Amino acid sequence: MLNRTNLDKNGHALDSLRNELDKLQERELAFVMARSKSLTDKSAYTECGISRSSFYEWSEDRRQHLNELAQRIKREASFRALMVLQDNAEKAADTIGKLMDSRNENIKLRASQDTLDRTVGKAPQPVEVSGKDGGKIIINLTWDDDEEPE
């Protein structure tokens, strides 16, 4: 797991990932970058213009390695974003606190509501559910116990 000691002064992961990425061929790098932003191999190789057959010409070990690199990129980017948010959370809270002292009543109200919503929770909102034109809601349930599950 990454922590602050794994990061340089700019919040970047140590050079090991960059070194591994530098060793990739251009198409492999394109795949890794696309895969770090997609849910499937297919969407990634399609996005970077690699045919299905070319993708599967890479050995299974190679494909697994490229997927692992993509996951590292995704995790490290998420970690860096989280670190920025955590570093600024106190400043954001101070800003909202100062807004509660605003002369503008609307700003004061919104800052107060935001503070309460985040600390106490939002007030429950009643919801009325009815059928068409305010009528009853009809729910039909059917099942067949004799059928085998798929």
Q: 54: helix, coil or strand?
A: helix
Radius of gyration of the chain, Cα coordinates, nearest whole angstrom: 26
Phi then psi dihedrals of residue 8, to 5 deg? -85, -175
Share of the chain above pLDDT 70, in %: 87
The residues, any chain, with a CB within 8 Å of residue 150's CB and separated by 6 or more, are: none
pLDDT one-digit tens code per residue, 44-59? 999 999 999 999 999 9
- Name the nearest CA neighbour of 96 among 108, 106, 84: 108
| pTM, rounded to two decimals | 0.54
